[in-house]
Amino acid sequence: MPDRLQQAITVLQSRFGSAAPRPAAPPCAARPSGIAEIDALTGIGGWPVGRLSLLAGPRGCGKRTLAQRSLATASREGPVAYVDFPSRLDPEFLSRIDARLDHLLVVRPNSLRDGMASIRVLARAGVDLIGIDLPRARAAGLDAELPHLLHRVAEADCTLLLIHDAEADDAIRYYASLILSFQRSAWVFSRDGDLKGLQVDAAVVKNRLAPPGHKQRWIVPYPIP
C-alpha cells in the first residue's frame, strides 16, 4: 500500500475510529493440506484456521480420501480428530499414508448434538484439525448448531473440514468460509491393470478469503497395500 494512502488511513482512524476505512479481508492463517494442488486452489496456502471448509461432491469423487490425507498430514504436527458419523473411517488406510495414529482421536457420536458437543470440547482442548464426515441424512438440525460451534472453533484457532453431499444445505453453504466441489473424472490404472488412484476435478465454489472460481485437476494416488 502506498505510504501516502497508509498515512491517510491512519489519520482517518485517529479521527473516526471504527468508522474509518480498513482492509476488507484481514489475513487468515492457513493450515497446509498436505496436497500442493489444494493449497494452491484455496488461494491462501491451505485450509483456513478457525473456520469451516466444506468438501462437497458425490460418493466416489475422492473428497473423503483428500480430507483424510489432510488429517494424516496434520497428525504429524499435533492432535487431530475425525468425527465419523457413518462409521466408515479405516485406520489402516490412515496408517498407510503415514498418519500418526497416536495423535488421532476418532469420535462416533450417537446424534448430531453429541457430535457437535464433542467438537466444541476437543477444539477448546487444543485439537488442531477436526474432520467431520456427515451424511446428508444425519444433518437435520445442523443450522441451529453451527453458529455456536464456529464461535468456539474461531476462539480455539481450530480448523474444521466438513465432508458432505454434493447438495449441501443452505445453512452449511452460508457458514462455510471455503467450499470446494469435487468430481471424479477418471480411474487411474497401472500397466498391469491395478488400480493406482483416481483423477479428480475440483472447483472453488465459494471463498471468503481469496477469489473463487479457480479449478484444478490432479491424480489422487491410492497407497500401496
Q: What is the pLDDT of residues 1-27, one digit of tens each?
A: 577 887 888 888 888 876 777 666 557
Helices (H), 125-169: 142-156
Answer yes or no: is 90 within a domain. Answer: yes
**Cell numbers representing residue 135 in the block:** 451424511
In a domain, 107, yes or no: yes
Residue 202, classified by CB atoms within 10 Å of its CB into exposed (0-12), middle (13-18) or buried (19+), is buried
Render pLDDT for 79-101 as a digit per residue (tens, 0 to 9): 999 999 999 999 899 999 999 99
What is the pLDDT confidence band of residue 59, given thresholds at 50, 70 and 90? confident
Whether 96 maps to a domain, the answer reads: yes
pLDDT digits (tens, 9 = 90+) for 161-195: 999 875 656 778 889 999 999 999 999 998 888 88
Distance from first CA to last CA of the chain, Å, rounded?
52
Top-confidence range, 18-32, 52-66, 101-115, 133-147: 101-115
When pLDDT is cut at 50, 70 and 90, the band that residue 49 belongs to is very high
| Beta-carbon contacts of residue 76 (< 8 Å; ≥ 6 apart) | 98, 99, 100, 103
Task: Tell me whether residue 217 is in a domain.
Answer: no
Q: Print the domain residue range for 94.
A: 25-211
Q: Is the pLDDT of residue 75 over 70?
A: yes
In a domain, 14, yes or no: no
Residue 20 lies in a domain: no
Cα separation, 187 vs 198, whole angstroms: 4
Question: What was the pLDDT predicted at 166?
Answer: 56
Taking the mean position of all CA atoms in its chain, how far away is CA 51?
A: 8
- The pLDDT, as a whole number, for residue 16 is 80
In a domain, 133, yes or no: yes
Helix (H) and strand (E) counts for the chain? 7, 10
Residue 53 has pLDDT above 90, yes or no: yes
**Are the C-beta atoms of residues 213 and 203 closer than 8 Å to each other?**
yes
Query: How many structural domains compose the chain?
Result: 1
Mean pLDDT of all residues in 24-45: 87
Give the CATH number of the domain where residue 103 resides.
3.40.50.300
Residue 139 in any domain: the answer is: yes
Least confident of 24-33, 39-48, 142-151, 211-220: 24-33
- Name the strand (E) or helix (H) holding 164: strand 159-164
pLDDT of residue 137: 79
